[in-house]
Copies of this chain bind each other. A is one copy, B any other.
């Protein structure tokens, strides 16, 4: 039986190391890479084509949902298992919409992680019980702001917005995304118009409100 090749992404090194230690207990799991943000995760997936990406949602640079969306599009054979602090309905709904193979809460047990990883590796899906419960019962899509609001933006615009809210200048964003400063400015102008928010402070508050970034 071939080992399950896994890429792990979490911005907190200690948490990442801990989960890695748990995964290494499963003798059919092979760790092929670790990433500290969504962009690194994307690069590792492109390079190693793992079976599974186990990825936190809340990450700087490029968050887990956005990274998951792209991974699912670009490398459909790699299955994404998302980790999250909260059973936030907006997140769950969006995670399912973009083709994540599983959604595990951070208060899951090691045994549950075991089950989730192997289920996803077999091509099945896994949802933490609390999450599954919401899907079965609730069935009510977001309703609130969160994901719905963000849907008004294109993926590129969301990405730019996150980087702005994290304090990057247009020049820094251009460098990180390997774009022209002009392109970044255009995206910023477009998303400002679409959100009808016309200053940096407002963008930051909006990004925090919808959970794109944290106040830290």
Contacts and interface: CB of A to CB of B under 8 A. Distances in A.
Interface residues of A, number: 46
Nearest to A128: B14
Contact of A205 (B15, B105, B199, B204): B204
Contact of A106 (B12, B83, B166): B12
Interface in A76-115: 83, 85-86, 88, 104-110, 112-113
Contact of A19 (B14, B104, B107): B14
A201 interface: yes
A202 interface: yes
A167 interface: yes
Interface stretch (A39-47, A152-160, A185-193, A208-216): A208-216
A191 to B, nearest CB: 14
A167 B208 contact: no
A13 interface: yes
Given A14-B19, A18-B110, 20 more contacts: A11-B107, A12-B85, A12-B106, A14-B104, A14-B105, A14-B110, A14-B113, A15-B15, A15-B18, A17-B22, A17-B113, A21-B25, A164-B201, A165-B205, A167-B201, A167-B202, A205-B213, A205-B214, A208-B215, A209-B216
Interface of A: 11-15, 17-22, 25, 36, 83, 85-86, 88, 104-110, 112-113, 164-169, 199-206, 208-209, 213-216
